[in-house]
Chains A and B, each alone.
Chain A
Amino acid sequence: MDRVPIAKIGPTLFVSIQIDLEDESVVQLQEDLADQLTATGASGVIIDISAVEIVDSFIGRMLTMIGSISRLFDAETVIVGMRPAVAITLTELGLSLRGVRTALNAEKGLALLNGTA
């Protein structure tokens, strides 16, 4: 199972999903993020999915859950870099990912978190 690394820069946790993840890894990411949030007191999470080609209902739900979990720790989550084809497919699936904010890229995502957007 591949574990997605989580980096911390200032008050923000950064996650970049680079490969085609199987379900186990996604669940593990959720757990790891929860751990990191409690351990570091981070106030923001940026999940970069610019390399992700497929987001199905399972992964979509996980992303929404990550948003909810983060909020419990008073942290805001921003999903960045979603590909157009993925957005169109998610829309067709009926998934709106309510509960997580989105931005075009990590830079804009940070601006959002810092309230400077």
Chain B
Amino acid sequence: MDELSIRSGDDVVRVRQQARVAAASCGLSLVDQTKLVTAASELARNTLVYGGGGTATIEIVKSDTGRSGVKIDFADNGPGIPDMELALTDGWSSGSGLGLGLSGARRLVDEFKVASEPGTGTTVVVIKWSR
């Protein structure tokens, strides 16, 4: 289990690298590794840009059926997401700029949970399993 602090652009790169290492060690296929790391990049950037900085915790997990996977927990104490439904729609792919990349990241992973309290902060937990 690795807790990384996200305070700068360099940290986003570091999160990508660590996510890649974890994904490879779990035996995820190349495409799945790419998807996970890309999702991690999106979410790490969200944490930095919208959350005012935060943390990413990467760990290897095991499912009930014995598969391994990578779980990443993003947390910040930022302003939170005011309109969750809007944030989860595909607004950003039309370049509206509103997009928080959440909907895209969700499509790249197997499990996705987001919790946000306006004024308190946001957590996003994602899991990608090996096949």
| Interface of A toward B, CB cutoff 8 Å | 20-24, 53-58, 61, 83-86, 88-89, 92-95
Residue from A58, A83, A93, A94 having most chain B Cβ neighbours under 10 A: A93
B101 adjacent to A86 (CB under 8 Å): no
Question: For chain B, which range describes its interface: under 10, 10 to 19, 20 to 34, or 35 or more residues?
Answer: 20 to 34
- A-B pair count, CB < 8 Å, reads 65
| Interface of B toward A, CB cutoff 8 Å | 9-10, 12-13, 16-17, 20, 30-31, 33-35, 37-38, 41-42, 45, 90, 92-93, 95, 99, 101, 104, 107-108
26 residue pairs bridging A and B, Cβ less than 8 Å apart: A20-B13, A21-B13, A22-B10, A22-B12, A23-B9, A24-B9, A53-B34, A53-B37, A54-B34, A54-B37, A56-B45, A56-B101, A57-B101, A58-B45, A61-B95, A85-B30, A85-B31, A85-B33, A88-B35, A89-B34, A92-B107, A92-B108, A93-B38, A93-B93, A94-B93, A95-B104
Top 7 nearest A-B pairs by Cβ distance? A22-B9, A85-B34, A94-B93, A93-B104, A56-B41, A85-B31, A23-B9
**Shortest distance in angstroms between A3's beta carbon and chain B's nearest beta carbon?**
14
**Shortest distance in angstroms between A83's beta carbon and chain B's nearest beta carbon?**
8
Q: Is the interface of B mostly helix, strand, loop or mixed?
A: helix
B34 adjacent to A56 (CB under 8 Å): no
